Amino acid sequence: MSEPIKIDIWSDIACPWCYIGKRKFEAGSGLFAGAGDGRDVEVEYHSFELSPDTPVDFDGSEIDFLSGHKGLPAEQVEQMLERVTGIASSVGLDYDFDHLKHTNTVKAHELLHFAKANGKQLELAERLFRAYFVEGRHVGRIADLADLAAEVGLDREAALQALESEQYLEDVRADQATAGEYGINGVPFFVIDGKYGVSGAQDAQTFAQVLEQVWSERAAVTA
């Protein structure tokens, strides 16, 4: 029985392509695992802030934010969001940009490290993405984040304490420093088995092929 292939994923909760990429990777890793012989993956999320200067309580819509952030006309941003919504729908995600609450995500990243320390990182990552893109919930305020932590079985008071004390902020910064060392300047970014980088929300088949290549290389080494 071989060890699972380690997948390190740099992403941001506020990145629409990261949630889409998550679904496509899950489909690809499912194809890979379906080939049998003990094929499996182990996933760990790492912090990346797309807009670290964003206020916790942004006064405006997603169109307002992107128009200002990217310097694009509102109509063009609206067309971009419609396209992303369509792609999200193709992988089973019902994005609702009209009710999305744009916010700073550093506390969400701290919470993901807290969840990792308590064995619930994957569950929390999914919960945060869904809360942000589908449910229109706030993922920047400490109390709201603690509520979401509790929803995946984490201790709410412990989560509050970790966020208020910035217990995991250094871990967030360490992830960001590693991203810089790897030359990662956009997300999602997948590092597979510590040696292959896959950028963007690639098709499921692409992920499956890379995983199969790594599996074959491992088999060749141990043969």
The greatest distance separating any two alpha carbons of the chain, rounded to the nearest whole angstrom, comes to: 60
pLDDT digits (tens, 9 = 90+) for 141-151: 999 999 999 99
pLDDT at site 17: 98
Residue type, 215: W
Helices (H), the chain: 16-33, 62-70, 74-90, 106-117, 121-133, 142-151, 156-164, 169-182, 204-222
Does residue 44 form part of some domain? no
pTM recorded for the entire structure: 0.96
Cβ neighbours, 10 Å, residue 78? 17
Does residue 135 form part of some domain? yes
What does the alpha-carbon distance between residue 137 and residue 145 come to, in Å, rounded to a whole number? Answer: 10
Half-sphere exposure of 176 (CA within 13 A, CB side): 15
pLDDT digits (tens, 9 = 90+) for 161-216: 999 999 999 999 999 999 999 999 999 999 999 999 999 999 999 999 999 999 99
pLDDT digits (tens, 9 = 90+) for 27-66: 999 999 999 999 999 999 999 999 999 999 998 999 999 9
pLDDT at site 46: 98
pLDDT at site 70: 85
Does residue 149 form part of some domain? yes
| Phi, psi (rounded to 5 degrees) for 138 | -85, 125
| Domains contained in the chain, number | 1
Does residue 45 form part of some domain? no
Does residue 204 form part of some domain? yes
Does residue 179 form part of some domain? yes
Identify the CATH number of the domain in which residue 93 sits: 3.40.30.10
Q: Is the pLDDT of residue 222 over 80?
A: no
For the ranges 22-36, 63-77, 114-128, the lowest mean pLDDT is seen at: 63-77
**Helices 121-133 and 142-151 sit at what angle, rounded to 10 degrees?**
120
What percent of the chain has a predicted confidence (pLDDT) above 90? 93
What does the alpha-carbon distance between residue 86 and residue 94 come to, in Å, rounded to a whole number? Answer: 9
Residue among 208, 189, 211, 210 nearest 200 (CA): 189
Q: Mean pLDDT of all residues in the chain?
A: 96
Q: Are strands 189-192 and 196-199 parallel, antiparallel or unpaired?
A: antiparallel
Domain residues for the domain of 104 are 5-38+51-222
Does residue 88 form part of some domain? yes
Compute the average pLDDT of residues 118-139.
98
Does residue 118 form part of some domain? yes
Q: Is the pLDDT of residue 221 over 90?
A: no
pLDDT at site 223: 60
Residues 6+ apart with CB under 8 A from 130: none
The H-or-E segment that residue 43 falls in is strand 41-47
